[in-house]
Structure 1
Amino acid sequence: MHDINKLPLSKATSNPGTVYITWQKNLFNLPASFIYFLLSILLFFINLLCIPREKYAEIQNRSQEKETLRRLEDIGDFIKEGETVLDVGCGNGRFGENIARKFNACVTGIDVVDYADAGIPIKFYDGYTIPFDDNSFDVIIMAFMLHHVKHQDVIFKEALRCSKSKIIIYEDTYFSPWQHLFIMWNDFHSNMIVGLVKIVKGLEGKGILGMPLPFTFRSVKGWYRYFQENNLEIISTQVSHSNFKPMSKVTFLLQKGTRTE
């Protein structure tokens, strides 16, 4: 059975019991959460003390390239050539740079933390008010950033204001209490612990340690309810599961104001 389900909203709404994860996979994630928690602590010391800087950079780059390809594949042809795109919470800006290259799009990034390292224009803002006029961009992207803000509703409505029509959201998600706990740990590990290793090895600026971690994750069903409240049509929902690590990711392709009651 495949670990990746790509289902349009029509299937999800016609069948509210849509299964995005098998019970076997969900059960497997329970012991895997404990194992990966222990492994991540061990790997911190191995990566910090035993892995040379160049080798560690190679491992990180290879992992990031794989993740970028997955994200681009999820978008498909949702972004059209020449469209304007705002990457909210762009981080170092490299994903936005890949968007610009692949779709020949005009991409701008904004973030509250300064560790920019890419060839797109990036502005820094207060995390509440997006510094652009209404309907300024064809597409708004929020890639794994909404779980970094307590005031999700404020920044989400700002994204809606600035988008002419389309929104893309990538998020970590969960299907059980133990997976929920693990993705919170993974968020701390990925930003603080891995970030510290990158800083020590001179691969990242200290800004990453200022990343807010309120752990405001939602389940897929939780996101569905939220999108409905905000009058959004879900063009597609794409859920992927890691083979062994108890991680699940979801990509939503959304469109403004076209949902009918």
Structure 2
Amino acid sequence: MSNGPDQQQPSRILRTVGNAHGRLVHTRRVQAIAQAVTPLVRPHAALLDIGCGDGTLAARIAAQVEGLSVTGLEIMTRPDSAIPVTSFDGEHIPLDDNAVDYAMMIDVLHHTDDPTILLREAARVARVAVILKDHRMERPLARLTLRFMDWVGNKPHGVTLPYNYWPEKRWRETWKQLGLHPQHFATQLGLYPRPANWIFEKGLHFIALLQTTNP
């Protein structure tokens, strides 16, 4: 039958794309985000990485912050995770209120149908702050560029892609609604080298430290 090779071809293409993305982008991304997050975290604290993937980023941050304890949550846990990881349903965090000092979500919320649900849960379990890295639409053709980036970086790994991107104004309105107070907001993260940063970074990314109002 002729349809066998045709069915396998997309898988080969996706594997090739995924491998290339890992070599060219992923390592630099982890380094840049770890460098941005590390100064935001207090020593001897507890950090929960929600949607942690293989835990590489959280492990790198823990290696740079004295006494930092890190754990992760993931919909599909991996046997080779770099940190202790618990599975969850993607909406409800299986922890008590104020269970950790920091709840961190790195490029997670735009993969959800309603970012408010998981963000509210993160605020509930974090005593000190929520650390958030996500996308923002603050330039022409932002949605088209972000969709392309998401497809290249995540489609090879079977990640859900609802392409749910928000402008900065909507992020800030949601934080206010949930009682989250921005203490740090950065948009120049060094995720890509020049000149790629003009295409794939400018106006598209942010990292925020959002203080919670938990007692």
Which deviates more from structure 2 when the two are superposed, residues 143-152 or residues 236-245?
236-245
What is the Cα-based RMSD across aligned positions, in Å? 2.6
Aligned to 2:135: 172
For the pair shown, the structure with the greater C-alpha radius of gyration is 1
Task: Write the distance in 2 (CA, Å) between the matches of 1:87 and 1:76.
Answer: 13
Unaligned runs of 5+ in 1: 1-43, 196-207
Shift of 1:62: 5.9
Shift of 1:151: 2.6
Q: Which amino acid aligns with 2:70?
A: V
Residue 53 of structure 2 aligns to a residue whose secondary structure is coil
The 1:160–1:171 alpha-carbon spacing in structure 2 relative to 1, beyond 3 Å, is: same
Shift of 1:150: 0.7
Contact 1:127 1:155 in 2 (8 A): yes
Residue 243 of structure 1 aligns to a residue whose secondary structure is helix
User: What TM-score comes out, normalization by structure 2 length?
Assistant: 0.80
Contact 1:93 1:116 in 2 (8 A): no
Aligned to 1:90: 52
Q: What CA deviation, in whole Å up to 9, does each residue of 1:78-112 have, x standing for no partner?
A: 21122100000111111111122111311000011
Shift of 1:189: 2.1
Shift of 1:61: 4.7
Answering whether residue 208 of structure 2 is matched by residue 252 of structure 1, we say: yes
Aligned to 1:122: 85
Task: Write the distance in 2 (CA, Å) between the matches of 1:225 and 1:116.
Answer: 38
Task: Write the distance in 2 (CA, Å) between the matches of 1:237 and 1:73.
Answer: 14
Q: What CA deviation, in whole Å up to 9, does each residue of 1:44-84 have, x standing for no partner?
A: 96x839xxx9xx57x72563332122212222522112210
Q: What CA deviation, in whole Å up to 9, does each residue of 1:143-167 have, x standing for no partner?
A: 0000011132211111111101211
- Pick the aligned partner of 1:106 from 29, 45, 69: 69
Residue 166 of structure 1 aligns to a residue whose secondary structure is strand
Contact 2:116 2:174 in 1 (8 A): no
Which deviates more from structure 2 when the two are superposed, residues 105-114 or residues 170-179?
170-179
User: What TM-score comes out, normalization by structure 1 length?
Assistant: 0.67
Instruction: Tell me: higher relative CO, structure 1 or 2? Use CA pairs within 8 A at least 6 residues apart.
Output: 1
Shift of 1:240: 2.4
Residue 83 of structure 2 aligns to a residue whose secondary structure is coil
Aligned to 2:96: 133
Contact 1:93 1:117 in 2 (8 A): no
Task: Write the distance in 1 (CA, Å) between the matches of 2:140 and 2:199.
Answer: 16
Q: What CA deviation, in whole Å up to 9, does each residue of 1:100-156 have, x standing for no partner?
A: 211131100001123453321001111121011110000010000000111322111
Give aligned pairs, total.
194
Residue 114 of structure 1 aligns to a residue whose secondary structure is coil
Contact 1:232 1:255 in 2 (8 A): yes
Task: Write the distance in 1 (CA, Å) between the matches of 2:32 and 2:38.
Answer: 10
